[in-house]
Amino acid sequence: MIHHLFSKHGVADFINNELGSRGIQAKYDYSDILLSSIYTTFCGGSATEDVNYIRENTLNHLKGIEIPSADTILRANKELSVDCDFLQTATGKENKVNINTRMNRFLLRGAIQFKQIDSSDKALVYDYDNQFTPAEKYDATYSYKGARGYFSGVATIGNVPFSIEGRNGNCNVKTEQLATHKRNIELLKAEGIHPQRARMDSGSYIKEVTDFFHQMGTHFFIRANQSENLLSAISKLENWNSCRIGIENYQTNSMGYNFGKHAHRIIAYRQPNSTGQTNAFTGDAYSYLFIITNDWAISERDAIIFYNKRGGSERVFDIQNNDFNWKYMPHSDLEYNTVYLIIMAFAYILYRFIINSFVGLVEGIDTSSRLKKFIFRVICIPLKIVKTGRSTYYKFATKNEKLIEMINSA
């Protein structure tokens, strides 16, 4: 059923057109390989090797697709990879990064093709964050997070990942942030996408980054790091405004602040701290948070609410780690695992696309349903294939007549 819907919407053709041919001697196309990996995930598999079992019991019944072994899938990941770059920091430390423009272009175009990013939408928001994934891999390095792993840079639009760059675990999140943002914005521009707003954590609190987005005409909202100068300046403000956001009560204020080549706006919000201890720089007993923005029109409360919606994009990491197996990277090297992360992000895009077909059809399924619920309520329904003459019918062990009708009409 899922495979038929994907065939109907040209998923295999899209994959092969974007990634090209593996050569005339290759038995499997990239569509065979990627879809086999994605279908394995849709069946609850977490390791690439799970395809070997699922192939024999399920996937070999599908038409129009050849199901490869796990070894072939892993070799294809290597084919799609690019070499890593090594960046030298000011302190002489070497950072390993992997920038796979071809695969990120594939990911973005997939999000557009399967209606998860609307390139005509004039109100799109660009989000960026770094995601630490613990991994005991050959080239994984120790992070301040207290484990070995990778620190991937992930850009999203509307909670849909469209660019993933591999980074080693000890790579400072501020390293080459400007270059990363430039690549992501160029990727979007090439597809006719021009975000009106950008939202990032303190890893992007860099003068060159704010200059870049300001000169683009994009309203940015970035978590500003606390500093002696900033705390001292904010302590001089008067007429704080009281507001309630969610279940929290805050006092808010804002001021002009020179940062980089331009004067921007600092939005401050504070609450009494839990200890009652006086801050040496502000002379009060408050805990402060700051957002730097070039939007002078937005209210302080609305700016805070908008910035806090970064939690939606961060939820993507939870979904990718736990539903789409980012925490089970199969390779020993960053460049190959970066390809895997991108393919699993594409799996998430296809899942978001396909789940709409079951909303209102299967009880308990809506557009926000996690993969596990979808597996229990749809994938796990037993099926009997009945062939009579030239016709093939599918008998499902369910009383859901609408679902049965949809399957047999496919």
Q: Which domains does the chain have, with CATH numbers?
A: 2-81+324-373 (no CATH), 85-322 (3.90.350.10), 381-409 (no CATH)
Q: How far apart are CA 304 and CA 299, in angstroms?
A: 9
335, 82 Cβ separation under 8 angstroms? yes
Which residue in this structure is represented by tokens 């100068």?
Answer: 229
pLDDT of residue 90: 67
Q: How far apart (Å, rounded) are the C-alpha atoms in residues 124 and 222? A: 16
252 Cβ partners below 8 Å, 6+ apart? 240, 241, 242, 243, 267, 268, 269, 270, 300, 301, 304
- The pair of structure tokens assigned to 283 is 């002379």
d(CA 365, CA 115): 19
Per-residue tens of pLDDT for the chain, all 410 residues: 788 889 989 999 999 999 999 988 889 999 999 999 999 999 999 999 999 999 987 888 888 899 999 999 999 999 999 999 998 776 777 889 999 999 999 999 999 999 999 988 989 999 999 999 988 898 888 888 888 999 999 999 999 999 999 999 888 888 889 999 999 999 999 999 999 999 999 999 999 999 999 999 999 999 999 999 899 999 899 999 999 999 999 999 999 999 999 999 999 999 998 888 988 888 889 999 999 999 999 999 999 999 999 887 778 999 999 999 999 999 999 999 999 999 999 999 999 999 988 888 888 899 999 999 999 988 887 777 777 777 777 777 777 777 777 766 66
d(CA 73, CA 71): 5
The C-alpha atoms of residue 364 and residue 400 are separated, in whole angstroms, by 13
First-to-final CA distance of the chain: 8
- In 3D space, the residue among 309, 274, 266 whose CA is nearest the CA of residue 290 turns out to be 266
Q: Which two tokens stand for residue 246?
A: 């969610």
The stretches of 217-271 forming alpha helices (DSSP H) are 228-234
Q: How would DSSP label each residue in 35-84?
A: HHHHHHHHTT--STTHHHHHHHHTGGG-SS-----HHHHHHHHHHT--PP
State residue 408's pLDDT score.
64
